[in-house]
A and B are shown apart, each in its own frame.
Chain A
Amino acid sequence: MRSYRILVCLLVCSLVQVTSSMAAEMTTKHEYMPGREKAIPHVSGDKEFSNTYQYWKDPESLKKAVDDGLMSHEMNFKDFRWMEKSMEGDMVLEEGLAYFNQENESGKSCASCHGEDGAELKGVYATFPKYNKRVNRVLTGPSQIEVCAKERLQRDDWGPDTRPNSLIAFYVASLADGATINVDTSSEPMAAAYERGRDLYFKRVGQFHYACSSCHTPPTAGNYLRGQRPTTFFGDAAQYPIYHFPYQLAGDDYSYVFTMQHQIRSCQQLSRMYQGKEGSASMTDIEVFIRASSNGYPMSIPVAEYNMNTDYLERNIDQ
């Protein structure tokens, strides 16, 4: 009888605790910057945000816009991003290829499965992030490289924030140069990942209480942010991993190649948000959203951030 009472006591107590913690979780309401509902997983979705898509939708349009005398900020700064290939990245690509071919103790390398110089990987990077059925989660390019390296090559130290990983990602992405970005957002679980990533992109966080979209939607996007040129979240993913991004993360030794995961972390740090762990579920979802927002746009690798011939900006526009 007594033990029965104690049991009831305990049950009631734990029930109260469970329901109160559930209530706390359910009542947490996050704040979002406006515009989530307008985002679509295609590069043309930019029309709903900056209305500059017509100027940079393809190389011909961009050339025409520049010739017509449009200023950089009037084109949402997209002219800075991919107008010209950067051959500075070439030497780093060779380093990436060396890691790709680097044999482990049993004589195996990435090339053992993916063909000489990655012959089997042409265009593949344009479809990442991707759901991997076997490991049952969505993987970014760097996360896929990590899984492969661990399982097939017994390399436990090629995680997404390591130099070999970033440089292999850069190399494999270059094999998709020119391929149209095509991240799946229609089948599960990718559709859910896209929506979660979108929500995170507009969620206000950090000391400034900013969202990613605070800088990457107008009026900030398309205006000068001191020396920086924030742009919308459409199209730019097509050039990542990118060579020589100027904002380095403390302690990096691979700062000259920025994967999208590094880029997100760098943005978080600059805007005083807590940095996510590269390859974690939330960081992967954010990348799904950003890369899918470039669907329909051709990849361009290697490109250098702020790569460039800026001569035309100096020209006299009256001429």
Chain B
Amino acid sequence: MSNKSCFQLSAINLLMRGVAIVMLLGIGFVATAAENEKPQWVPGQPYPPELLDQYPCHSYELECGQLPPPPIEKVEFNEELNGDPDRGEKIAINLRWGNCIACHKLPGHETGSGTVGPSLVDYAERSLPYSYTFQRIWDPRVVNPDAHMPVFGPNRILTKNDIVDVMTFLYATK
């Protein structure tokens, strides 16, 4: 008797699950359609405000208020630097892209830059290993947990290629 009732229960359970899966698939389909209509951030353009709730936020009511911080990403870089220095320079000085210049003096941009971080004008001469620089830009928390610098890698502000281009620009000897 009890076995039978259990079986009946699980049969109903299975049926319900089936219905739920079909419904979820439907929702998934709608969500994908909506996803396509969502604006995309184009580097160099203003960041669409409606995309920002995918990151932790200040709200008590919205889900983003409870999102955990992006996990710290320790990365390796053992390659040659063969990026595009001109593109790297564009990324570094663009307000809505890398915007390194907001805080750092850059080679060829000694005036009009910020003074928050150290000057990078002579970065090439400092002989810092590529792996250190790549890590410093990708996720500065590995080097200094309280760095006043964005987490470019984990939150997809810059791609690996972007960072390699910026590094190629910084390491280029004049």
Residues on A close to B: CB < 8 A? Answer: 2, 5-6, 9, 25, 28-31, 33-34, 73, 200, 203-210, 214-215, 219-220, 223-227, 250, 268-269, 272-277, 280-283, 286
Partner of B66, one of A28, A214, A286: A28
**Which one of B16-24, B31-39, B51-59, B123-131 is at the interface?**
B51-59
Flag if A274 contacts B116 (CB, 8 Å): no
Determine the distance from Cα of A123 to Cα of B166 in the docked complex, in whole angstroms: 53
Secondary structure call for the A interface: loop
Flag if A214 contacts B58 (CB, 8 Å): no
Nearest 9 interchain pairs by C-beta: A208-B150, A274-B57, A274-B52, A31-B69, A226-B102, A205-B56, A223-B116, A223-B115, A209-B151
Secondary structure call for the B interface: loop
**CB contact list, B89-129 vs A, under 8 A:** 95, 99, 101-103, 112-116
Distance of B112 from chain A, by nearest CB (Å): 7
Flag if B68 contacts A29 (CB, 8 Å): yes
Q: Count B interface residues, CB 8 Å.
A: 40
Asked whether any CB of chain A lies closer than 8 Å to the CB of B9, the reply is yes
Distance of A271 from chain B, by nearest CB (Å): 9
Q: Which residues of A sit under 8 angstroms from B66, Cβ to Cβ?
A: 25, 28
In the complex, the chain A residue whose C-beta lies closest to that of B154 is A209
Flag if A205 contacts B55 (CB, 8 Å): yes
Determine the distance from Cα of A83 to Cα of B137 in the docked complex, in whole angstroms: 39
Flag if B114 contacts A224 (CB, 8 Å): yes
Q: Which residues of B sit under 8 angstroms from A73, Cβ to Cβ?
A: 115
In the complex, the chain A residue whose C-beta lies closest to that of B95 is A226
Distance of B150 from chain A, by nearest CB (Å): 4
Partner of B69, one of A5, A209, A280: A209
Asked whether any CB of chain A lies closer than 8 Å to the CB of B81, the reply is no
A sample of 15 inter-chain contacts (CB < 8 A) reads A25-B66, A31-B69, A34-B146, A206-B52, A208-B150, A209-B151, A223-B103, A226-B112, A272-B55, A274-B62, A275-B52, A276-B57, A276-B58, A282-B60, A282-B61
